[in-house]
Each structure stands twice: as structure tokens, then as C-alpha cells.
Chains A and B, each alone.
Chain A
Amino acid sequence: MSESRFAHLMLAPAGVWLALIFAVPLGIAVAVSLGTTDPIYQAVYGWHPGNYADVFDPLFAPVLLRSVGFALATVALCLLIGYPIAYYIARFGGRWKTLLIALVVLPFLVNYLVRTYAWVAILSDEGLVNGILVDIGVTETGVQFVNTPWAVIGGLVYGYLAFMILPLYAALDRMDPSLIEAGKDLYGSRWQTFRHVTWPAAFQGVAAGCVLVFLPAVGDFISAQLLGGADTYMVGNLIQQQFLEAANWPFGAALTIVMMGFLLIWMSIYLRSAARASREATA
């Protein structure tokens, strides 16, 4: 058997699996999103584009906008926090680099649900922080932290920050620090050095990090479920409700497809840069 035939044979098992259980279900989701429900809440195929009109109904459109807004705020905060951390380790970590980056990533290996729950235990009305605040007499009734947009965004940042730090670190670590010295020696201002030396090196990491944080943040429903309330629900909560509580699968599927379509733009940016990176690596 020729090498190429053999290799193509090896592509088959996983290829068939992914086609059947990843690609086909997305097709089913599209079909169901155009369907309707019968009296016992079973999804029935049909042609009801109205499901998509419902998605942009004034009742639900704010939820979509909120999801995107929360996710963008999460990306911005992750970049603001993650950049100095990644920069510090990449430039000043020295021989402790690997240890430091492992330490930074370690908390993110803890189950996301448990980590979000930890913040609930700390910030809830009868949580740790409010206990302390009442004890030392700052307030009598406690401060409401949970159930606010910032609690939800905070939960998302705490959930996905590692996806920002790792690509940033990878990009900054590749940068030759003597280039910064050279920039300074050539009388470049701090801004000029950043703009012409650090930024071009960091850019790919920034782009990858932003997409990798944005994608899961838009679809998240745990943070809003545990740290927020009905006022802070995101599209993930809505989808979850339609599938598991309201039993309106066609509308849930339409929401999923709209979200997926929106995210495809971001995915293609990421995939294109990944493809370029792999071409550069093999070239």
C-alpha cells in the first residue's frame, strides 16, 4: 500500500466520526431551527423562519446585545490584566519562567463550575466578604455584589483569563528583548519602542487571546446563572432555558444558529491566523 493511501486511510475513522457527530448535528440544528413544536413539545420540521424573527424580537434582542457587551468587556479586562502578567513573566521571569507560567495557569485547571461557585461563596449576601463587612461595622445589611453585571463579567474574566495569558506569553516570549534595548539605544521614546518593537511581536498573541476569550464568553451561561440573575442573563442562559425548561427546541436551535453564525466571523479570523502560523512553522 502506498504511503499516501495508508495515510488517507488513517484520516477516515476520526473524519467519519467528526462528520457524523459534529457536522451533521449542526445541520440538524439548522433544520430544527426552522421547525415548530407539536402540542406535546416535540420538535417538528417545517418552514418557520419566524423563529429567527423571534431571536431579534425586542424581548430577546437585549439579551443578545448584553452577551456581546459582557463578552467584549471580558476580553478588554482579560487583556488589561493578562498583558502585564504575560509581559512580566516573559521579560523578567528569567529561569523561573516555566514555573511562573505554570503557577499562573494552575488555578484555571480547577473546574470552572467550582471556581465560579467559590466567588458565590465569597460574594453572596451571606458570603465571606459580607460577613466580614458586617462584623467590622462597614454596613449593617451587607453589600450586594452578586446579581450585578460586574459580578457576571468578573466571573467570566476569572473563568477565561488563562486563554488570554497563554497566547500572549507565547508571543512575548518569542520576542528578542535586545530589540527593546536597541529601540531605546536609538533614542526611541517608550511609546515608539512599544509601537514598533513590542506591539508587532505581541500582536498575534493579542489577536489569538482575544478570540479565544471572546468565543467561550459569548456562549457562557454558568457565570450569569450563578453570579447573576434574570437581569443579567446571557444568550447561553436563554438557549439553556429553551432546551431544558421551556421545551421550545426550534427557538433554542435558532438562537444557537444565530450565535454560531456571529461567532463564525471570529472563528475564521482565528483559523486563518492558525493556518498562517502552521504554514510559517512548516516553511
Chain B
Amino acid sequence: MSTHGYAERLPLGRRRSRRERRRDFDRPRFLRVFFIVFMFFTFAPIAIVALFSFNSTRSLQNFTGFSFQWYDEFFSNVGLRESLMASVEIALVTMVVATALGTTLAFGLVRAQSRIARSSNVLMLIPLVTPEIVAGTSALLLFAQVGIDLSLLTIMIAHITFSISFVTVIVRARLSALNREVEEAALDLGATRLQTLRLIVLPALWPAIIASALLIFALSFDDFVISFFTTGESPTPLPVQIYSSIRFGVTPTINAIGTSMLVISFLILAVAVALPRLLGRREEETVLIGRETA
């Protein structure tokens, strides 16, 4: 475009050629509007569920007044309370076992120099990209073949299996960034492998370990598909319970359960984000102090 044409148009102010207006596509204005509309559509459904969980009537169309009755119904229902406890129990066990297994796997993958370790680095990603329905049905087949009755235990085993890789990916990233010289120094000073692991490596890995543990708790607590295939009769985890009640129709109690689950997940993830930072700062300090006094 010529400078002449541009200068001519400038005094006219806002009038611009169609071609120039099209260029706004690249500029924030179009994108900003798109972004705001997008945010509205992603948040609105959740906001509506949360809002109607406080409705005073059964209506899902009119908000008639504020009340806690659906929360009351959730927490006073024995079956639902048992489901909530079952979900927490499963998530806790899954968190502990998967974090332990995933962390040792990460250590092995980073430190073992062999063909097995190198190919395992890629193989262990497979559980992450396997559709949950495949995971759920094949776990169900395993339990049926081995003859284990479905219960909370079978859900835990299935959850652990699909949580290990998450832990490994997170811990592996931190582990490969570690300074190996500190460990070598510890070994030179006569520490055993296990002592080095406990005194040098683990303290440095804590932020990653805690972050992945909390992530696993949140994932396990939220999981529906795998639990659905591996659950026994009763108690069933909360998401399975939600699913069966949705099939019988939409009720405001589900809004209350959904909102409670949302709050729990957000709290856990907030801790997951905040805690490693707090710990991380302290840990960096101790490493520095340790070096100075050494």
C-alpha cells in the first residue's frame, strides 16, 4: 500500500479500507473478543451448576431463592456419604502407592543407562494415552480372570496402574535437572546408595513428589470411567454414584454434589501449586547453606 493513500485517509479518522480492517484479525481486538466469549462459554455451565445448587426449589429454570437444602440432602444421605468416604479412601491409597511406584520408576529411568531404560522412557507413556474405556474394560477382564471380587480394592489397583506414569513424568523432569555432583560427593564421603537417596535426592525431589501426589489424588477422586468398570456393588465411588443418579433424571442434589467435588478439586490443586513453591524456596536455601558450610 502506498504512503500516499495512507496519509490521505488519516485525517478522515476511523474510516479504513476493508483490507485494513481484515488485518485486525491478527491484532488483539478480534482475539480479545474471541477470548472473552470463550471464557464465558467455558465458565457459564459451571457457574450455573454452582448457582442452582443453592436454589430453594427443585426448578432448574428459575432461581427462586437461596437455600442449603440440597447440600443438606447430600450430607444427610447415608449412601452418598459412604460414596464420598469411599472416593476419599480410594484417592488416598492410590496417591500413596502410585507416588511411591512412580518416583522409583522415574529414578530408574533417569539413572539406568541401558537399552531397556531408554525404551521404557517411551513405553511408560502408553498408559497416559490409552483411552480410559480400554483401561477400565481390560482391568475388569483381569479381575474376572484371576477371580478377585470387585470392591474398593479393585478400583484402587486400577487407579494406581494409570497414575504411575503421571508421577513418573513429573518427577523425571525434576530429577534430570538435579546436580549430580552433590550425590557423588556424598558417595565419596562414604554414604551408601540408600543414604544418598534419602539425604540428598529425596529432599530435592519433594516439591515434584508432593505436586504429583496431589495431582493423583485429584485425578483418582474425579475418575469415573475406570471406577465404573471396576467397582463392586456398594459402596460405589462418588462419580459412579453421580452417574447413576443422572440417568434417573436431573436433580438439584447433583448440583450440590458437583459443586462440592469442584471445591475439593480446586482446593487440592491450589495446594499442589502453592506447596512446592513454599517448599522449593526452603529447599534451595538449604542446598546453598549446605554448600557454603561444606
Contacts and interface: CB of A to CB of B under 8 A. Distances in A.
B193 A6 contact: yes
Given A3-B111, A10-B108, A118 B46 contact: yes
B112 interface: yes
A28 to B, nearest CB: 5
A275 B142 CA distance: 30
B264 to A, nearest CB: 10
B164 A218 contact: no
A128 B126 contact: no
Q: Chain B interface: which size bin? A: 35 or more
Q: Is the interface of B mostly helix, strand, loop or mixed?
A: helix
A107 interface: yes
Contacts of B160: 17, 21
Contacts of A28: 138, 141-142, 145
Q: Which of A25, A85, A236 has the most CB of B within 10 A?
A: A25
Q: Which of A18, A128, A158 has the most CB of B within 10 A?
A: A18
Contacts of A218: 131
B117 A10 contact: no
Q: Chain A interface: which size bin? A: 35 or more
A87 B126 CA distance: 29
Interface stretch (B4-12, B37-45, B276-284): B37-45
Q: Is the interface of A mostly helix, strand, loop or mixed?
A: helix
B157 interface: yes
A121 B252 CA distance: 10
B258 to A, nearest CB: 4
Given A212-B129, A215-B130, 11 more contacts: A10-B105, A11-B109, A11-B116, A11-B117, A88-B35, A114-B261, A115-B45, A190-B23, A219-B132, A256-B138, A271-B129
Interface of B: 23, 26, 28, 31-32, 34-35, 38-39, 42-43, 45-46, 48-49, 52, 60-62, 101-102, 104-105, 107-114, 116-117, 120-122, 124-127, 129-135, 137-142, 144-145, 157-158, 160-162, 164, 168, 176, 193, 218, 222, 224-225, 228-229, 239, 242-243, 246-247, 250, 254-255, 258, 261-262, 265-266, 269
